[in-house]
Chains A and B, each alone.
Chain A
Amino acid sequence: MTKLNTYRSGPDERGHFGIFGGRFVAETLMPLILEVEKAYRDARADPAFEGEMRQQLKQYVGRPNPLYYAERLTEQLGGAKIYFKREELNHTGAHKINNCIGQILLARRMGKTRIIAETGAGQHGVATATVCALYNMPCVIYMGETDIARQQPNVFRMKLLGAEVRPVTSGSGTLKDAMNEALRDWVTNVSDTFYIIGTAAGPHPYPAMVRDFQSVIGDEVRTQMQELEGRLPDSLVACVGGGSNAIGLFHPFLDDPSVQMIGVEAAGRGIEKGPLDHAASINGGRPGVLHGNRTYLLQDEDGQILEGHSISAGLDYPGIGPEHSWLHDVGRVDYAYATDQEALDAFQLCARTEGIIPALESAHGLAEVIKRAPTLPKDHLMVLCLSGRGDKDIFSVAKHLGVEL
């Protein structure tokens, strides 16, 4: 393979990252997708759009959040110097809000009057409901009924924020089915509705747009690390479901060859047990086409999509953003994995050592940090994206630990 001189120029004008990405949607949606693409291009060129977004990220979301030196964890692991990028301190408790602010400003710019979104763990649903309350727009959130059962606190949050939560019973009632149902809504309400996709996946321009809105994570890390250590970090670690927090952290560093990057997939009960027992699309899937893009998918021999499994509802998706698929194939980013048990262990260690209860999603990233840090020298600077807080997960963690609340 020829060596690329930049990893940051994608996608091409048709939305492709290498062979991945694209616009695999029904004709009804295609004119709208093209309209979103054009509106997004115009918005990026408009300083007023950028200005309003920056303002909201500062005043409403609370950015920049800290790049925090996790001293006790560093001492305990006895190797690399570990920093947490504290996305869990954002308003609504996760990185998801960064993207929602950007997309709702775009929806308003396009004159759309109704917002829809899909959600798995509920973090994106809460973030979407939040920005809809902020901008006084009606909001419908599609959520699988299985996820509704395991994420009750977030369901109630969304309702408090004024959103309508529509349970999805089709398929197995998880994130992919919620996305199908949101697409069905969109195709039926094309004229007035904007679909705020929560991860860096879907038809072009969504993967690029969500990445751009989340790149504030990596941009801040670059500045903060310069202030704290006077240099670039050596490695970046983030969990990957669809992969929006990971691409947001990685993208600004892709052309810095000294920076190693590791995306961590959910290995559920173990990758060796087969695709019904994990949600690791890259490590345990193969390329296919779903939800508007070509990417690595969990699927059977006949191209039917498999459900996958993870203890974390936010990683329980049979696909991954197309840019990750490409970054994997060109070898720029390593994709590791962590099991349910490893995530649970990391979750508890983080709570006791640092006084931070992380989201189960972020705990997958931490599990990889726990594996790597002890093998690295003390001057190795490692950044974990602590993408969300774990309050939403305490009930399911208690259940797994056999504790009755």
Chain B
Amino acid sequence: MSAVESAVMKSVDVLADGRIARRFAALKAEGRAGLVTFITAGDPDPAVSQAVLNGLPAAGADLIELGMPFTDPMADGPAIQASSLRALKAGMTVRRTLEMVRGFRKLDADTPIILMGYFNPIHAYGVEPFLAAAREAGVDGLIVVDLPPEEDEELCLPALKAGVSFVRLTTPTTDEARMPAVMRNTSGFVYYVSIAGITGTASASNTAIDAAVARLKRHTGLPVAVGFGIKTPDQAAEVARVADAAVVGSAIVTRLADGLADGVDGAGSVRPGTVEDVLGFVGELAKGVRAARG
């Protein structure tokens, strides 16, 4: 195949029979967008985090991003930075994150779980052992912020080989020339980062998101999820009108932090009712997403 042909060919999912593909197919059949929720594994402690995770599908999450805490989350804003540090303070590790997924899988065989984080903890674990353990635990995909396509040999290609999707981030700075390279090895879905910035800060305008989704659809047959800056059910609904999924992270993490008895920087326990409050908020987001195209 010539370079020109490969450049115009839309990427397709190499893991077409996985949970992610099945979930997006089901959403398409329902005629609605999905809600992707992010929480940090182990925040503020492993027990509360597991309770939130286990409750997410019933609350209306269609896909789950589970953050792997890292000491130096340089693409994240204050809310997720603080959540990572709380989780680490509570003793969270890569191994325990995988245990959380295993626990979740005993209750839910269908909701896709995508681990999201930075490369070094995976590098320290060892790429091949990590991929084997992740797959065995029931992980469906990975989003690794500091691995652009230029570093695909590090984790992306081994992940695809191991049957784990590698979900790529695209951003407002990803230009047309770069798009084919960014799409080449992505699988599961494409995550559009709607602003140039860090998580949980500014929000993009609806018109900008419309145009970006349309542009991405010219380059990929994969579902497009949009995130960064979605804080309310209304904003989630706006995104759900044009994208295949809306991703909410910082707002959920902030809701959880609001329940901390000792403030956001402590590793203290949460007040009674916090898990229910967080899941209630996820329910509102889901309602917004589900009503978006109604």
Contact = CB atoms under 8 A, between A and B. Distances in A.
Interface of A: 14, 22-32, 170-171, 176-177, 179-180, 183-184, 187-191, 288-292, 294, 297, 299, 301-305
Interface residues of B, number: 43
B90 interface: no
B93 interface: yes
B173 interface: yes
B5 interface: no
B29 interface: no
B182 interface: yes
Contact of B198 (A23, A188, A288, A294): A188
Contacts of A305: 71-72, 120
A31 B124 contact: no
B173 A28 contact: yes
A291 to B, nearest CB: 8
Given A292-B146, A305-B71, 13 more contacts: A23-B148, A24-B147, A25-B146, A27-B170, A28-B173, A28-B197, A31-B174, A171-B71, A171-B85, A184-B77, A187-B197, A189-B196, A288-B124
A299 B124 CA distance: 9
Interface string B196-219: 111001000000000000000000
Interface string B90-106: 00011100000000000
A170 B77 CA distance: 11
A176 B173 contact: no
Top 8 closest pairs, chain A to chain B, by CB: A303-B124, A303-B121, A188-B197, A28-B171, A303-B120, A180-B74, A30-B148, A24-B146
B88 interface: yes
Chain A interface, >50% SS class:
mixed
A289 B198 contact: no
A190 B196 contact: yes
Interface of B: 70-75, 77-78, 81, 85, 88, 93-95, 118-125, 145-148, 150-151, 168-175, 178, 182, 193, 196-198, 201
B72 A187 contact: no
A116 to B, nearest CB: 13
B196 A187 contact: yes
B145 A26 contact: yes
Contacts of A25: 146, 148
B193 A27 contact: yes
Contacts, number: 117
Nearest to A191: B196
A176 B201 CA distance: 22
Nearest to A24: B146
A26 B74 CA distance: 9
17 contacts: A26-B75, A27-B193, A28-B171, A30-B150, A31-B174, A32-B173, A171-B71, A176-B72, A184-B198, A188-B201, A288-B120, A289-B123, A289-B146, A292-B146, A302-B93, A303-B70, A303-B122
Contacts of B125: 302-303
A189 B145 CA distance: 18
A297 B193 CA distance: 29
A292 B94 CA distance: 21
Nearest to A29: B173
A19 to B, nearest CB: 11
Nearest to A286: B124
B173 A299 contact: no
Contacts of B201: 188
A169 B51 CA distance: 31
A301 B93 CA distance: 9
Contacts of B150: 14, 22-23, 30
Contacts of B196: 28, 187-191
B93 to A, nearest CB: 5
Contacts of A288: 120, 123-124
Given A30-B148, A289-B119, A289-B146, A301 B124 contact: yes
Contacts of B168: 27
A27 B171 contact: yes
A405 B96 CA distance: 50
A302 B170 contact: no
Contacts of B172: 28
Contacts of B118: 289
B198 A31 contact: no
Contacts of B175: 31
A302 B171 CA distance: 29
B169 A26 contact: yes
B120 A171 contact: no
